[in-house]
Homo-oligomer: A and B are copies of this chain.
Amino acid sequence: MTDRKIYKPRPVSGFPEWLPQVRRVEQQWLDYIRKVFESYGYCSIETPAVEELNVIQAKGGDGGADVDKEVYVLERLHKEEGDKEARLALHFDQTVPLARYVAQHFNEMIFPFKRYQMQKVWRGERPQAGRFREFYQCDIDVINVDGLPLHFDAEMPAIIWEILSSLPGMENEKIQLRVSNRKILMGLLDGLNVTDKPAVMHFIDKAEKLGWDKTRHHLKADCGLGDKDIETIRSTVSSPRTRGSGEDSNAIPAFAGITILNAQMEEGLSELQFVMDQLKHLPKDAVVADLSIVRGLDYYTGTVYETVFTDDPGYGSICSGGRYDDLAGNYINKHLPGVGISIGFSRLFDRLRVQGKLPVGRVSPADVLVVLPAEERREEASRTAQALRSRGYNVELYHAPQKIKRQMEYASKKGIPYVWFPPFEDGKEHEIKDMMTGEQAKADPKEWTTK
Contact = CB atoms under 8 A, between A and B. Distances in A.
Contact of A23 (B17, B44, B100): B44
Interface of A: 1-2, 4-13, 15-20, 23-24, 26-27, 38-55, 58, 68-78, 80, 85-86, 88-90, 100-101, 103-105, 108-110, 112, 114-115, 120, 122, 124, 126-127, 134, 144, 148-149, 151-152, 326, 329-335, 363-366, 369, 378, 389, 393-397, 399-400, 410, 413-414, 416
B399 A151 contact: yes
Contacts of A77: 53, 68-73, 89, 124
Nearest to A335: B1
Nearest to A399: B149
A416 B127 CA distance: 46
A17 B43 contact: no
Contact of A18 (B46, B49, B122): B46
A167 B43 CA distance: 21
Contacts of A71: 76-78
A20 B109 CA distance: 9
Contact of A1 (B115, B144, B333, B410): B333
Contacts of A54: 7
23 contacts: A5-B330, A8-B332, A11-B104, A12-B50, A12-B51, A12-B86, A12-B88, A15-B48, A19-B105, A19-B108, A23-B45, A23-B46, A26-B46, A40-B395, A41-B416, A53-B77, A68-B78, A70-B76, A71-B77, A72-B77, A73-B76, A74-B90, A80-B126
A97 B270 CA distance: 53
